[in-house]
Amino acid sequence: MEFKSAYLQGVYDTVCKRNSGEPEFLQAVKEVLESFEPVVAQKPELVEAGIIDRIVEPERFVQFRVSWVDDAGKVQVNRGYRVQFNSAIGPYKGGLRLHPSVNASIIKFLGFEQCFKNSLTGLPMGGGKGGSDFDPKGKSNGEIMRFCQSFMTELCRHIGPDTDVPAGDIGVGGREIGFMYGQYKRLRNEHTGVLTGKGLSYGGSLARKEATGYGLLYFTDEMIRCMKNESLKGKTVVISGSGNVAIYANEKATELGGKVVAMSDSNGYIYDPKGIDLAVVKQLKEVERARIKEYVNRVSGAEYHDGCRGIWTIPCDIALPCATQNELDADSAAVLIKNGVMAVAEGANMPSTPEAVAAFQKAGVLFGPAKAANAGGVATSGLEMCQNSMRYSWTFEEVDAKLKDIMINIFHNAFNASKEFGSEGNLVMGANIAGFMKIADAMLAYGVCY
């Protein structure tokens, strides 16, 4: 028995049987079900109504062929996905990931987590996720465009501004959203808020690009202030990744007085004891789409090391994994703890393995789980939807202030739920339960209709 509750064990056994061979999805479900032990003990009406049996099964899962023609005139075939996981509290909402590792397991784990995250924002958004095993690395602009257009040609029949609203994730930024939005508009002859992360000239929101990274730091700042009476001032920070989330996490961490000394990509990491020069990273990653290794040719005194896991051996006060799932394992957690890390907050989705999370919690390291800590991106997507519905736009300062408010609320809601359910300070449990309660409430109201 992995669970104390026989009911939860039964739910998990069924999920394992139905989704065998999908380790990331099972990992995400197991963590959430573990958090629900006190919920099933205190709220039998949720068990009675089968709410937990239902939330672990996606409402809809679409898989499709994406054919496109490369620059050499050769036909290429990729696999596209969209999981529409739960729409109890709003239209499905969640990003699109383009990476060769994408498969059903990855999309389902991301879609499952998105339900709780979106609920935590307090905005009316259900959970979804999509993507493809298309590899954007080394592709020309024209190839990216043709892929995105072909992908949207199928996806457009499943989405809509009140049905399902995709956005970016790994491999999908402003350029890709532009190609996809243009194709949707052409196919449907509609200008609606069907995607978020759009360019500012066609309905995007100010501060969406910065939102996940900034939000991560607003959350981290509140967590260390409330739980350790500390601030970011003078703290050494290590951030994995060098994409959208990592770059703006660096920007806000620096603004709040921290010193970011390391960043990475899938090949290796850079260490700059003076503090990373973010303008150089932005130029390399946002403009040139180059490798992080190139940083050491432009900044003296910096080091480059092959392999991404070594980044966790650098002593730091605050570690922010912002690259990908399971990038921080038990061995890396042990080194971080030995080096005196004070707080870990997840910018990426599920970057810490379950063993790493357990090690941080056991050692008393503050731990901000992804569903809470990186919710600023989708929260600002929700604000973009709101502005699109009003056909109006807020200033950067207005959006940023709302984002900060949302992140501070998320921390307190997760913290309060952890206290209410008997594990004060366990933000994994708190975030899972707080996110779940609103969804459960809506599903109870609907009866057993789906």
Question: H or E segment at 106?
Answer: helix 104-120
d(CA 366, CA 372): 13
In the complex, residue closest to ligand NDP by CB:
243
Give residue 135's identity as a one-letter amino acid code.
D
Structure tokens at 315: 């002593």
Q: Does 86 bind ligand NDP (CB under 6 A)?
A: no
- Which of the choices ligand 2IT, ligand NDP, none does residue 258 contact, using the CB cut-off of 5 to 8 A by kind? none
- Which of the choices ligand 2IT, ligand NDP, none does residue 206 contact, using the CB cut-off of 5 to 8 A by kind? none
- Which of the choices ligand NDP, ligand 2IT, none does residue 324 contact, using the CB cut-off of 5 to 8 A by kind? ligand NDP
- Nearer to ligand NDP by Cβ, of 223 and 345: the residue is 345
Please state whether beta strands 303-306 and 318-321 pair in parallel, antiparallel, or not at all (unpaired). Answer: unpaired
Return the DSSP state at 284.
I
Question: H or E segment at 373?
Answer: helix 370-373
- Nearer to ligand 2IT by Cβ, of 221 and 384: the residue is 384
Q: Does 177 bind ligand NDP (CB under 6 A)?
A: no
Interface residue with ligand NDP, options 347, 368, 369, 430 (CB under 6 A): 347
Q: Which of 379, 366, 376 is nearest to 427 (CA)?
A: 366
Helices marked H in 314-367: 330-338, 354-362
Region 8-67 residues binding ligand NDP, contact defined as CB under 6 A: none
Q: What is the nearest approach in angstroms of ligand 2IT to the Cβ of residue 381?
A: 3
Q: Does 196 bind ligand NDP (CB under 6 A)?
A: no
Q: Give yes or no: 129 in active site.
A: yes
In the complex, residue closest to ligand 2IT by CB:
95
- Which of the choices ligand NDP, ligand 2IT, none does residue 93 contact, using the CB cut-off of 5 to 8 A by kind? ligand 2IT
- Which one of the spans 188-196, 344-352, 405-413, 420-428 is the region binding ligand NDP (CB under 6 A)? 344-352
3-state secondary structure of 22: coil
- Which of the choices ligand NDP, ligand 2IT, none does residue 323 contact, using the CB cut-off of 5 to 8 A by kind? ligand NDP
Are 380 and 215 spatial neighbours (Cβ–Cβ below 8 Å)?
A: yes
Q: Does 178 bind ligand NDP (CB under 6 A)?
A: no
Interface residue with ligand NDP, options 192, 266, 283, 409 (CB under 6 A): 266
Given 108, 129, 404, 438, which residue is catalytic?
Answer: 129
- Nearer to ligand 2IT by Cβ, of 117 and 252: the residue is 117
Q: Does 410 bind ligand NDP (CB under 6 A)?
A: no
Binding residues for ligand NDP, total number by CB under 6 A: 27
- Nearer to ligand NDP by Cβ, of 207 and 308: the residue is 308
Q: What is the nearest approach in angstroms of ligand NDP to the Cβ of residue 244?
A: 4
Instruction: Give the C-alpha distances (Å, rounded to integers) separating 31 from 8, 25, 251.
Output: 12, 10, 31
Q: Which of 288, 328, 325 is nearest to 308 (CA)?
A: 328
Are 145 and 177 spatial neighbours (Cβ–Cβ below 8 Å)?
A: no
Q: Which of 107, 85, 112, 84 is nearest to 96 (CA)?
A: 107
Q: What is the nearest approach in angstroms of ligand NDP to the Cβ of residue 386?
A: 17
Cβ within 8 Å of residue 47, ≥6 positions away: 7, 40
- Nearer to ligand NDP by Cβ, of 39 and 216: the residue is 216
Give one DSSP letter per residue of 208-263, joined into a string.
HHHHHHHHHHHHHHHHHHHHHS--STT-EEEEE--SHHHHHHHHHHHHTT-EEEEE
Please state whether beta strands 75-86 and 127-132 pair in parallel, antiparallel, or not at all (unpaired). Answer: antiparallel
For the sheet containing 164-168, what is the strand order?
60-69, 75-86, 127-132, 92-98, 164-168
Structure tokens at 1: 């028995």
- Nearer to ligand 2IT by Cβ, of 349 and 413: the residue is 349
Region 215-234 residues binding ligand NDP, contact defined as CB under 6 A: none
d(CA 216, CA 59): 29
Region 320-339 residues binding ligand NDP, contact defined as CB under 6 A: 322-324, 327
- Which of the choices ligand NDP, ligand 2IT, none does residue 94 contact, using the CB cut-off of 5 to 8 A by kind? ligand 2IT
- Nearer to ligand 2IT by Cβ, of 332 and 349: the residue is 349
- Nearer to ligand 2IT by Cβ, of 169 and 265: the residue is 169
Q: What is the nearest approach in angstroms of ligand 2IT to the Cβ of residue 447?
A: 29
Cβ atoms within 10 Å of 234's Cβ, excluding its own: 10
Interface with ligand 2IT (CB under 6 A)? 93-95, 117, 167, 169, 196, 349, 377-378, 381
d(CA 105, CA 83): 11
List residues binding ligand NDP (CB under 6 A): 99, 101, 168-171, 173, 212, 241-246, 265-267, 308, 322-324, 327, 347-349, 374, 377
Which residues are known catalytic residues?
129
